[in-house]
Amino acid sequence: MNISEPFIRRPVMTMVVAVAAIVFGVAAYQLLPVAALPNVDYPVITITAGFPGMDPQTMAANVASPLEQQLM
């Protein structure tokens, strides 16, 4: 006896099984969770730059700003 024999001998049972599979499939499809916007991990770049004796304004103008422009 092979696996397809009962389905060949009983076409009504085959139709009932097929319809049941379709109904359960549609019901399960309706219950699938769908996120409008998926969670995304954005890349983060961390740079540490030190310049001994430099004041914050000069550091921002000469080091931080060019780095930001290049990394954007």
Around Cβ 8, how many Cβ atoms within 10 Å?
9
Q: How many domains does the chain have?
A: 2
Mean pLDDT of 49-70: 86
Are 49 and 31 within one domain? no
Structural domain containing residue 65: 43-72
Are 31 and 51 within one domain? no
Q: Do residues 2 and 9 touch, judged by C-beta distance below 8 A?
A: no
Are 49 and 19 within one domain? no
Mean pLDDT of the chain: 89
Are 30 and 50 within one domain? no
Are 48 and 64 within one domain? yes
Are 29 and 8 within one domain? yes
- 26-41 pLDDT, tens digit each: 999 999 988 788 788 8
Are 2 and 27 within one domain? yes
Residue whose entry in the numeric block shows the structure tokens 């931080």: 64
